[in-house]
Structure 1
């Protein structure tokens, strides 16, 4: 019996690990958004985005086309980075798992009364094999969520780097 308890502890450790990875991905997405806000704050504070530099472009200047060519990809990658970060916070998964009394999202949908829920939870907890099935489902779903979030964060970081490069090129061209 002790070895079975130990095995279910392993399931719970895996589920906890997956939840920790989910939190780390969301933290990274928050940092990416914060970096953009810092860049915008610096740009306004240093007067890079003031009226003189932004609104007074002359199309007679040949450099204007290079400036626009550097600015547009920067804006594009910034938007893509924001979309990736938002997708990290709100992932859309297409996973179908049988309803489980261990999933908080399934509780209200599938067991509207306390007595039904209590009976189902007791049945699952008393049947070791069924309990392990529910735990393995939970580990799979949380692992899939963590993986999806990290893919979005990875894309967000790549787009952040690309946008920074293009904005640096733009700022260099503005001050030439």
Structure 2
């Protein structure tokens, strides 16, 4: 029974990741000159701290040194969290993006930009922003209707639970 390097690495590293209450999102081995780069991407509901990445990196390095999963060739180990532009592909990704603005490519070829308000096993409840002063509208989107989706980066996003007036009041109090 033959297994791929990726499967061997996943079997070796997944217990280390799970022991730290993290999700193993991706394992990638890419050539980089005479070396290879082993990139381990992990995530958690509350995000991943730099300290958690460093701790996992040390534990993974020890485990990899004890095994032959990377063979005899030199490699560079990177432990990271997913970037903001990571595709949303799993139910947990959508749950973690609740409250965020997403851009979804639809199975019928259309495209939708909306904020996730709730997630369940079948799909998403969304708030579609109003255009030209119109009020936002609610929409239900089944996972089967989504071809691909990503979180949209918002540079001027209001803090959750604050209205524009409340934010203005706070800034005036600080002045």
TM-score by length of 2: 0.20
Q: RCO higher in 1 or 2 (8 Å CA, sep ≥ 6)?
A: 1
Question: More strand by proportion, 1 or 2?
Answer: 2
Rg: which structure is higher?
A: 1
Question: More helix by proportion, 1 or 2?
Answer: 1
